[in-house]
């Protein structure tokens, strides 16, 4: 992964100005949708601040002792806090450890940096502990909080951080960056970007031919279940393959698009423009009320699977059964996929 992403440059310059004026805040909230590279930026900034010989422009040299340690995830003045193991949240013990780390003297005489990878994942006790750390900044400490949903954070956390807001790059800039990173003979960078709401790293994430084909298979499977051509329990097996949360996010996006297609003959924007004709055909089999009902169910399914310890296969079977055609004798044309 590139460490310098072109759409970050203005934010980088802003931080360099803070540094030049010796006004770098003790806590930064890096906020913006998934796929804009907030973590890449946080790591670039951390490595640069710890580097022994930073370049003009503020980037790290890439070769010094600090840079080598940082790249090996072993720098003693840097700590990264994220969800571990099967846990669904970041707990108070992890935040206490972070606070203790920041309170210690720097090993190499420079910054002490803590990167909190997803601040929305903190449980309530962890948030209260983090507030204490934010209220008592230590010497050369820097706390980097990363959030894809800053509006869902307590105001007390937001107000104690300097907001660094990440925005999607303009389309031409995003396509120029994405094109050399994907197999553009098989995948269209523009469509990948549209599906990813303009977030280049999210587009890159799905630009994998195997995953792309898996998405098409899931859609075919869902369409067949919906019209009574496939048993929900049989279909649920393929939904368990790959990243289940991503699979369910596809499901949500298909229903969102089907609602758009049911309300307007040519919607100005679709999440899945490549599936437009198939989605339109499937949408025509359902009423608008039923489409909204299935969308709500898909959102509930995603929340349950991503935040609780549920039996995912069972939940998928229930969801697919409820999506199955009420009238399995409906005159439905055999899907004829040409991807």
- Among the listed residues 139, 76, 138, 140, the one whose alpha carbon sits nearest the alpha carbon of residue 108: 76
Chain-centroid distance of CA 96 in Å reads 26
Please state the closest distance from residue 47 (CB atom) to Zn ion, in A.
Answer: 7
User: CB 4 → Zn ion: shortest distance, Å?
Assistant: 15
Biggest alpha carbon–alpha carbon distance for the chain: 74
Q: Which stretch binds Zn ion (CB under 5 A): 45-53, 123-131, 149-157, 328-336?
A: 45-53
| Of 67 and 236, CB closest to Zn ion | 67
Which of 216, 245, 211, 265 has the alpha carbon at shortest distance from 315?
A: 245
19 vs 304 by CB, closer to Zn ion:
19
Q: State in angstroms the smallest separation of the CB of 49 from Zn ion.
A: 10
Q: Indicate the residue among 50 and 134 with the shorter CB distance to Zn ion.
A: 50
Query: Binding string, 63-92, against Zn ion, x = CB under 5 A?
Result: -x--x-------------------------
**CB-wise, 110 or 154, nearer to Zn ion?**
110
Which C-beta is closer to Zn ion: that of 51 or that of 315?
51
Nearest Cα residue to 328 out of 224, 223, 227, 220: 227
Q: Kindly report the three-state secondary structure assignment for every residue of 315-335.
A: HHHHHHHHHCCCCCCCCCCCC
Q: Residue 61 or 299: which CB sits closer to Zn ion? A: 61
Nearest distance from C-beta of residue 215 to Zn ion, angstroms: 41
**CB under 5 A: which stretch of 46-54, 243-251, 267-275, 305-313 binds Zn ion?**
46-54
Q: How far is the CB of 58 from Zn ion (least distance, A)?
A: 12
Q: Which is nearer to Zn ion, 47 or 121 (CB)?
A: 47
3-class secondary structure, 192: helix
Contact 169, 10 (CB under 8 A): no
Q: What is the DSSP letter of 181?
A: G
**How many residues sit in the footprint of Zn ion (CB under 5 A)?**
5
| Number of other residues whose CB lies within 10 A of the CB of residue 143 | 26
Q: How far is the CB of 295 from Zn ion (least distance, A)?
A: 49
x-or-dash string of contact with Zn ion, 2-41, rule CB under 5 A: ----------------------------------------
- Return the residues of window 124-183 that contact Zn ion according to CB under 5 A: none
Mask of contacts with Zn ion, 49-68, x by CB under 5 A? --x--------xx--x--x-
Between the alpha carbon of residue 117 and those of residues 30, 74, 120, the distances in Å are: 10, 17, 9
Which of these, 96, 141, 144, lies nearest to 123 by C-alpha position?
A: 96
Tokens of 298: 């898909």
Q: Name the strand (E) or helix (H) holding 27.
A: strand 27-31
State the burial class of residue 336 (Cβ atoms within 10 Å of its Cβ: 0-12, 13-18, 19+). Answer: exposed
CB proximity list for 293: less than 8 A, separation 6 or greater: none
Q: Check binding of 108 to Zn ion (CB under 5 A).
A: no
| Nearest approach, Cβ of residue 54 and Zn ion (Å) | 7
Which of 67, 157 has the CB closer to Zn ion? 67
Give the nearest distance from C-beta 55 to Zn ion in angstroms.
9
Query: What SS3 class is residue 28?
Result: strand
Closest approach of Zn ion to the CB of residue 30, in Å: 22
Residue 106 or 238: which CB sits closer to Zn ion? 106
Tokens at residue 117, please? 């990878």
Binding site for Zn ion (CB under 5 A): 51, 60-61, 64, 67
């Amino acid at each position: 992964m590139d460490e310098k992403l072109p759409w970050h440059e203005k934010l980088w310059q802003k931080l360099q100005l803070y540094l030049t004026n010796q006004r770098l805040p003790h806590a930064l909230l890096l906020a913006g949708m998934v796929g804009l590279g907030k973590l890449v930026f946080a790591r670039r900034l951390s490595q640069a601040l710890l580097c022994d010989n930073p370049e003009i422009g503020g980037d790290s040299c890439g070769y010094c002792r600090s840079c080598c340690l940082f790249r090996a995830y072993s720098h003693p003045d840097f700590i990264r806090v994220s969800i571990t193991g099967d846990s669904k949240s970041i707990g108070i013990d992890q935040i206490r450890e972070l606070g203790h780390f920041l309170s210690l003297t720097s090993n190499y005489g420079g910054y002490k940096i803590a990167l909190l990878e997803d601040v929305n994942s903190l449980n309530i006790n962890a948030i209260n502990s983090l507030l204490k750390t934010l209220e008592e900044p230590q010497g050369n400490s820097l706390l980097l909080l990363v959030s894809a949903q800053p509006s869902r954070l307590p105001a007390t956390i937001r107000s104690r951080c300097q907001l660094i807001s990440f925005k999607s790059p303009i389309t031409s800039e995003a396509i120029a960056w994405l094109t050399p990173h994907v197999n553009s003979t098989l995948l269209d960078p523009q469509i990948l970007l549209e599906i990813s709401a303009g977030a280049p790293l999210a587009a890159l994430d799905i630009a994998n031919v195997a995953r792309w084909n898996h998405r098409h298979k899931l859609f075919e499977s869902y369409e067949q279940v919906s019209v009574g051509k496939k048993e929900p329990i049989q279909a649920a097996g393929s939904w368990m393959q790959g990243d289940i949360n991503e699979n369910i996010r596809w499901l949500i996006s298909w229903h969102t698009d089907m609602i758009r297609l049911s309300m307007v003959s040519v919607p100005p924007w679709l999440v899945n423009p490549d599936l437009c004709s198939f989605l339109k055909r499937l949408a025509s089999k359902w009423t608008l009320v039923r489409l909204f009902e299935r969308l709500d169910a898909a959102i509930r399914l995603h929340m349950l699977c991503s935040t609780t310890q549920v039996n995912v296969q069972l939940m998928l079977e229930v969801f697919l059964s409820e999506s199955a055609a009420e009238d399995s004798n409906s005159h439905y044309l055999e899907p004829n996929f040409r991807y």
